[in-house]
Amino acid sequence: MTPPAPTALTGKVSLRFGTHAALLTGAGNIKKNQAAKPQLRIKGSTRTLTLGTLRATSANVKITAVATFRKGTKRVRVRNRMVQRPNMVALGKSTLTVTKSAPKTLTIRVPAKGAAAVGKKVKSVKVQVAFTVRNARGKVVKKSTKTFPIAVVRK
């Protein structure tokens, strides 16, 4: 018996991980086979950062995403001098296993400290995400970093 054909997701490819996987962003309606909408929800009890929908193009991949964003600068001592460096606030980490037949939405749980750092009046943030892609044997096959403009939702 042959497995069912994977559902055709509609959405824009925002990032490709070589020949292994792709990250799609769309309107967010799952019933119409649309990829997830990138957004940061910080009002409810479960604070989440949704980046989109992951679709594997090779057999089986494990993708780890670490999200941070820049909140001003901080003073750091380098070679006995004080210099200013960006203050990067952690927004969380998530690991997903994606197969060809089952695309998954990439969501990261945001800690209270990260949500508080975003602030109460900000409408969008630039989130920097570091991705690591591993194959079925656990070998790192791709590493990449991308900055996403993300809308902040307070509902």
Tally the domains of the chain: 1
Q: Is residue 18 part of a domain?
A: yes
Please indicate, yes or no, if residue 7 is contained in any of the structural domains.
no
The position carrying tokens 């069912």 is 4
At 84, which CATH number? Answer: 2.60.40.2550
138 assigned to some structural domain: yes
The answer to whether position 111 is within a domain reads yes
Flag whether pLDDT at 140 surpasses 50: yes
pTM of the model as a whole: 0.84
Cβ burial of 114 (10 Å; 0-12, 13-18, 19+) is: buried
Structure confidence by residue, pLDDT tens digits, 52-101: 999 888 888 999 999 999 999 999 999 999 999 999 999 999 999 998 88
Q: Is residue 133 part of a domain?
A: yes
Torsion angle defined by CA atoms of residues 89, 28, 99 and 63, in that order, rounded to the nearest 10 degrees: -10
Determine the distance from the C-alpha atom of residue 94 to the mean position of all C-alpha atoms in its chain, rounded to a whole number.
8
Provide the pLDDT confidence category of residue 6 given band limits of 50, 70 and 90: low
Asked if residue 6 belongs to a domain, the reply is no
Domain that holds residue 74: 12-153
Residues 6+ apart with CB under 8 A from 139: none
